[in-house]
Each structure stands twice: as C-alpha cells, then as structure tokens.
Structure 1
Amino acid sequence: MSGLTERLADVGYASGWSLVRHLPEGAARAIFDRVGTVAGSRGGGPDQLRKNLARVLGCTPADVPDDLMRDSMRSYLRYWREAFRMPSMDLATAASRVCMPDADRDRFMTALDKGKGLIFALPHSGNWDAAGVWLVQNVGEFSTVAERLKPDSLFERFVRYRESLGFEIFPLSGGQTPPYPQLAARLRAGGVVCLLGERDLAKHGVPVTFFGEKTRMPAGPAKLAIETGAALIPVHHWFTGPDTSQISCGEPIDASGGIDATTQALAAVFETNIGAHPADWHMLQPLWEADWSSNRRRLIEEGRG
C-alpha cells in the first residue's frame, strides 16, 4: 500500500473502533448486515473470494451461488462489527455467546493436563477473536502471533485491541526477538498457543494440497508440536445465529511423520471444516499457487519466498 492508503486505512479502523462501539447493538447489526448483503448480491463480492470459494465447492468462479457470496460478505462484515464492538462489551458476556460441545472441551483439556503445552491451529473462519475471548474466559491466557501491518500505528492499534481481550501477542516480524522461540518457551511451560494456520504470511511455508490444488501453509504449528511435544489440535469457529457461534476442537494431529506430513494432515482437517461452513471462511486474499503474483513465484523459484 502507498503511504496515503496506509494512513487512510489507519483512520478508517480508528473510526470503526471509536464509532461502531457506541452504536446500539441492533443498529450496528442492521447496518453491517445491509452492507454485506449489498456487497455480495447479484454477482457482487470480491473476485478473489469468489475464486477461493470455487475451490471449496469444486466449481468455476462463475458457478459460485450468489446466495453464498451474499452470506460470505455478511459473515465477513459481521466479523468487523464484532471486532469494533468487542472493546466496549463485557467479555464474560461475549464468551457466553460462544458454544463448545463438552466432548470437544474434554478433548483439549485432556491434552492440556499432560503439561506439555497445547497448540490450537485454526483457519480464518468466523470470528477468531471471539473464539480467543472464549478461551481466555474459560481456560486462561494464551499466546499468538500478529501480522506486521502498515503503518505501525495500525499494527499497534490491533495489538492493543487483542491485548485488551487478554491475548499475549508476539509480532510476526519486526519484534525484538523472533516469535518462534517465545512460543516454544510458552509451550514448554505448559501453556497454550493459538495460530492461524492456512495462510502463509511469512512466505516460506510447507507445500500442501488443499482442495485439490497446490499451495503453501505455515510450518509453525507442526514444527512447534514436533520440537516441544505439545499437542496440535485443529480448531474451527463458525456463526450459528445472529449473535451466537460455535467452536469445534478435533482430535490431536499425529506429528510423528514430520513437518510436511503434519501440515498436510492439518490441511485435510481444515478442508472438512471449511467445506461444512464455507460462508464463514474469510479468505479474500490469493491463497493457491495458481493465483500467486509473478513476484511471489519468482521468490519461490529463487528459494526466497
């Protein structure tokens, strides 16, 4: 982004947090639902989102149903509505709107009780911040990584927001120390780490097949599990009603086959969960190799991306 675009983005997000949080909840919901409906109606919505959903459905972009695009944009706008309003909410109330089946909770608590740490890996689905609030309110603090946004003021705004929810945040890049050793230390102390696991932000991820096409996914979850002995559990979050949502926790991923095999196994679970709730998967960026820019392809060929 250009410097002007970055500044405008910062102003826009600042306005969202300062204005939307003060709207009555019903009014905020109506406004964001309407914007999402208009954005996704009659062939609308971001082209990249349509391409990504076509992979999930196994069809061409032109054949992605308009109602799915509409629901996807409404879901995406709901994420932002909730993010802008979360700082003004009672966090215990926010957590009470998130459901997790008892069997899923028992599964991850059994893993956590072993004392070797626990890694939750999830895709960009539903509202991962709301899922994090549920975790903090029901289990305790966890550690995660934040993408380095520009300008720095915008990045710092997001860090302050997530720290206010009770998350421990490590910058993906530009911090005093890399995040990996800090995350590993938290796990070795028996802590919890949550990582978004399907988008390769660092540009040096593991090659996987995802919905039948080649892409790369972050190596961090698998590498941390292998090196620390922490359990690696796939998580999914999706919306179930106007103000309610659900988290699922799968069986721990077997990490004995190495980083590549573990990451591919994680991708397979993500496929199942995203396929069950495609409207709540907020992937508006190029993800698959076929959609990469020429610069990204060049860096991969040179071993630098």
Structure 2
Amino acid sequence: MSGARAQVAERLADTGYAAGWRAVRMLPEPVARTLFERAGDWAARRDAAGVRRLRANLGVVTGGRLTEAELDALTRRAMRSYARYWQEAFRLPALGVDRILEGSVVAGTEHLAAARAQGRGMVVALPHSGNWDAAGVWFVDWLGAPFMTVAERLRPESLYRRFLDYRETLGMRVVPLTGGPRPSSEVLRDWLDEGGASCLLVDRNLGAGGVPVTFFGRPATMPGGAALLADRTGAALLPAVCHFSEQGWRMRIYPEVPVQGPGRLRDRVAGAMQGVADAFAVGIAERPEDWHMLGRVWPDVPEDRPRPGGDELR
C-alpha cells in the first residue's frame, strides 16, 4: 500500500472508531448488547482465520472432550463474549463508576490486601478474558489511586491517543510498549519501586524469546516481564482472571506467585511464569468462552479447519 493510501486508511480507521464510540454510547444498553451479540454470531458464521484459531485454542482448553457441534457452540458463545467486550469498551465511560462497582464481584482481595499491608507494589498478571477494563475501574477504586499498564502503539497516532485518553479517563496510567521517551520497563520499575500497582496482559508472547511454560498441558511461551519486574522491585506477582456475569463482571485474584529467592534469575522468572500459567489455566477453564484469544498460543496447534458453510471473505 502506498504512503498516501496508508494515511487515508489510517484516517478512516480513526474516524470509524470515533463514530463507533459516539454511536454506541447513545444507544440504550439492551439495544447495544443485542446488536453486538448479532455481530458476534455473524463473525462466528463467517469462520475467518481468527475464529478458526479461537476454536482450536478452545479445543485445547476443553481437553478435546467436546464434539464438533459442542465446540462450534462454544466458539459462538466466545465470539459473543468478545463482541460484548467491544460493546462495553465503547460504552464503559458512559456506564459510570457506580454501575461498574455495583456489577462487579471480586474474589481473592485478601491477596491484594496482604501486599498493601507490607507496603509493597503489585504486579497483577491477566489473560485476555472477560472485560479487563471494567476490572481496572474496580481496581482503581480499591486502590484509591491509579495503576499503570502498557499499551501497544497503534496506527494512526490519533487512534492510539484515543485509546490512551479512554483508559486514562478510567483512572489508568498508560505507557506505550514502544516509542516512548523511556523504555516501558524502566517506567514500570520506577512506579513499582514507589509502591505502585501495575496490570499486565501476559497470556500471549508477541515478541522474540519469552519464557517457556506448560499451559493446558502443552508447551507455550509467555512474556517474562511481569515476573522480572516483581523480582527487581519486590512487588507481589498476583495472577487474576476476569469473566462476565449476566449483567456484570467477575474477577478472581489468585495467591501471590513467589519470584525472589535463591537460584538464577532466569530460573526464578521461568518458575514464576509457570505459576501464573497454572493460575490462568484454572480460571480460564471455569468459563472458557470468556477467553478472547484469536491468536496463536501453542506452536504445535494449527488453526482449525474451515467449517462447511462458512462464508469467510477471501
């Protein structure tokens, strides 16, 4: 694509997101939810590559126990859940903090309280499950202060700024993964050294390297930054998994995964990330349709084959 065409495409993308934010916020909540449910159903029927990858991932999560029809039904529910995430992403600031707090049920807060009582920072490690933005609103309220997270830099810059401004209205502090004035790892380390809290999505490794783990019985890699930050700052490393409920949100915070101690740093980080992966596996298995993973997690698991009647646009 030429530079001029790319710029036009980027402007259209930003304009489309801006229009979507405005339009969806104006709709009554039941209408918006119905429209996005239908969009999720349409995406599942279309059976594009991301849906086939999701179906393959769900096949691993459910241990190959489902029939083809059952796996298709689970994938449809997962696409509805994914669509609900985007519907809420557009509407979340309009919902208001009180509505989110009233609709949130959180288990395991004693693990957060233990870290706070010790005066330590916290690194909350999450998978792409449920609505982590809604969980973030709850967490800001619980902390009584912002937490810090990292966002991939989007193009165009105006779209990245729109997502950045959106999350900061929810009480988050966001640093870019790349392209910032300082490396994100340095900014996070300073924040945690001061006793701050951070939330990081770590169920998929997007860069080179990563830490090898066993996830649902198969080899995978996860980014090791969360464990490394916890080791370097003394922060508590706390896995957490989010789910949807009928009209709200649920989150479970799991016990602290130890990182500091004897032995090589490399081995301690790997062991800690295995502990995170184990907690994720428990939480995701409770409600697998809320795990929105349309990308590759396991190198030995190809995307599922197209279903007969799928109408993917090729």
Determine whether 1:138 maps to 2:148.
no
Residue type of the alignment partner of 2:80:
R
**Comparing 105-114 with 44-53, which one deviates more in the overlay?**
44-53
**Partner residue, 2:89:** 83
Alignment of 1:111-150 (within 5 A): 111-139=115-143, 140-150=145-155
**Partner residue, 1:163:** 168
Determine whether 1:253 maps to 2:257.
yes
Contact 2:55 2:71 in 1 (8 A): no
Structure 1: distance between partners of 2:273 and 2:282: 15
Structure 2: distance between partners of 1:122 and 1:280: 13
Determine whether 1:200 maps to 2:205.
yes
2:292 partner SS: coil
**Partner residue, 1:182:** 187
2:300 partner SS: helix
**Partner residue, 1:299:** none
> C-alpha displacement at 1:41, in angstroms?
5.2
Contact 1:41 1:66 in 2 (8 A): no
Determine whether 1:263 maps to 2:273.
yes
**Partner residue, 2:71:** 65
Alignment of 1:8-87 (within 5 A): 8-40=12-44, 46-59=51-64, 63=68, 65-87=71-93
Q: Are residues 7 and 62 of structure 1, via their aligned partners in 2, closer, same or farther at CA, if it must alter by over 3 Å?
A: farther
Unaligned runs of at least 5 residues, structure 2: 262-266, 304-314
Structure 2: distance between partners of 1:247 and 1:292: 30
**Comparing 51-60 with 16-25, which one deviates more in the overlay?**
51-60
1:290 partner SS: coil
Q: For the aligned residues, what is the CA RMSD?
A: 2.3
Instruction: Specify which structure has the bigger relative contact order, considering alpha-carbon pairs within 8 angstroms and separated by 6 or more residues.
Output: 2
Q: Are residues 156 and 108 of structure 1, via their aligned partners in 2, closer, same or farther at CA, if it must alter by over 3 Å?
A: same
Q: Are residues 203 and 158 of structure 1, via their aligned partners in 2, closer, same or farther at CA, if it must alter by over 3 Å?
A: farther
Residue type of the alignment partner of 1:108:
L
**Partner residue, 2:308:** none
> C-alpha displacement at 1:137, in angstroms?
1.8
Unaligned runs of at least 5 residues, structure 1: 294-305
Q: State the TM-score, normalized to the length of structure 2.
A: 0.86
Structure 2: distance between partners of 1:227 and 1:143: 17
**Comparing 32-41 with 76-85, which one deviates more in the overlay?**
32-41
2:294 partner SS: coil
Residue type of the alignment partner of 1:290:
D
1:100 partner SS: strand
Name the % identity: 43
Contact 2:58 2:288 in 1 (8 A): yes
**Partner residue, 1:273:** 283
Structure 2: distance between partners of 1:191 and 1:155: 24
Contact 2:257 2:272 in 1 (8 A): yes
1:265 partner SS: helix
**Partner residue, 2:106:** 100
2:146 partner SS: coil
Residue type of the alignment partner of 1:166:
G
